[in-house]
A = this chain, B = another copy of it.
Amino acid sequence: MKKGNTIFFKNSPRIVSYAAICGSKEKEGIIGGFADVTLDDDMYGETTYEKAERKMLVNSISLAIEKGGFNETDIDVLLSGDLLNQIISASFAARRYSFPFLGVYNACSTMSESILLAAALTDAGYIKRAVAATGSHFASAERQYRYPLELGCTRPPQAQWTVTGAGSCVVASGKEGIKVTSATMGRVCDYGVTDVNNMGAAMAPAAADTIMQHFKDTGKTPDDYDMILTGDLGALGSRIVKDLTWEKGYDISDRHVDCGEIIYKVIESEFQGGSGAGCSAVVLNSYVLSKMQAGLYKRILFAATGALLSTVSSGQGESIPCISHAVELEI
């Protein structure tokens, strides 16, 4: 059933297991302690950043499958994407497995997009179990989107730091685990931001649009959620999303948490926090889901946010279209 842009799942597909791997900088933050694996060396024993990123993704997928007590043959499909051109991390990760692969891409909103589709396919009874997975690597993202690390470019204060990490979860039918109650599909929003160093400002309107659409479609209010978790708006973007929703009559300020804001120790005058597909993937699939399982949070809205630009689109003078897909998780 759908109302507005929100799909309501009849049979409540469940997140039955999850795993997260993060890098050395992430290890020092609050979230690092909740990840299954933390790296001391972000090369992860590989010869290139891209291969290190892929290895994190593969290992987080395998770990999520293993932690759920499953074998590879129990999985019906992998839904995954990442920030590298032609989502090679996801495609090459999928090569390691015998189950089918559906590639998805909505930048840093890929985690919620893949959970949304995994939940829909499971809820409808087409499949029994899907893995939703994504990740990113600071060094591979920097050299693809910005500058070679060797240049040592200075970062402006509105910049975020691409998270080195990967997160995966198994979405399955059944009665055990964390329910995926509903999912709100995001629309592309573009408020005309052209500063590629200010993703938070670009993405905040998309997050606000989806969160408010979710409230409208479900008839719920911010009070119905223990946490409203955005993907990677960072400190500035978080303030903007709270302002934008407050202006429309929704006060989310006392329960809004941003993955980008909590993954590192953020000092806003210095930098804004984390970003990248791995940011929300790591925070959700470690700290958040484990605290839900422990009963600390009963219901959360997870709205990962993505900036749909490329170096070519920005080079051609385009502003940054953004998107946010939201999934409602309940215990």
Min CB–CB distance A157 → chain B (angstroms): 25
Q: List 27 A-B contacts (CB under 8 A).
A: A5-B99, A5-B100, A7-B121, A7-B126, A77-B185, A81-B105, A83-B86, A85-B310, A86-B313, A87-B308, A88-B312, A91-B323, A92-B313, A92-B318, A94-B187, A94-B308, A94-B321, A97-B187, A100-B187, A102-B106, A102-B325, A103-B104, A103-B106, A105-B105, A120-B121, A120-B124, A120-B126
CB < 8 Å neighbour of A126 from B1, B186, B309, B325: B1
A316 within 8 A of B: yes
Against B, the Cβ 8 Å flags (1 = close, 0 = not) of A91-120 are: 110110111111111110000010011001
A51 within 8 A of B: yes
Task: Find chain B residues with CB under 8 A from A81 CB.
Answer: 103, 105
Task: Find chain B residues with CB under 8 A from A321 CB.
Answer: 91-92, 94-95
* Residues in A197-237 with C-beta less than 8 Å from chain B: none
Give the CA-CA distance A85 to B2 in the complex, in Å: 32
Per the CB 8 Å criterion, the residue count for chain A at the interface is 59
A39 within 8 A of B: no
Verify B127–A124 contact, CB threshold 8 A: no
Min CB–CB distance A123 → chain B (angstroms): 7
Give the CA-CA distance A83 to B83 in the complex, in Å: 14
Verify B98–A187 contact, CB threshold 8 A: yes
Most central of A99, A101, A117, A128 by chain B CB within 10 Å? A101
Verify A309–B121 contact, CB threshold 8 A: no
Task: Find chain B residues with CB under 8 A from A293 CB.
Answer: none
Q: Which residue of B lies closest to A87 (CB)?
A: B105
Min CB–CB distance A327 → chain B (angstroms): 13
Give the CA-CA distance A300 to B239 in the complex, in Å: 53
Q: Which residue of B lies closest to A104 (CB)?
A: B104
Verify B88–A309 contact, CB threshold 8 A: yes
Q: Which residue of B lies closest to A313 (CB)?
A: B88
A188 within 8 A of B: yes
CB < 8 Å neighbour of A91 from B7, B308, B316: B308
Min CB–CB distance A134 → chain B (angstroms): 12
Min CB–CB distance A266 → chain B (angstroms): 26
Verify A1–B102 contact, CB threshold 8 A: no
Verify B120–A88 contact, CB threshold 8 A: no
Task: Find chain B residues with CB under 8 A from A251 CB.
Answer: none
Against B, the Cβ 8 Å flags (1 = close, 0 = not) of A25-62 are: 00000000000000000000000101100000000000
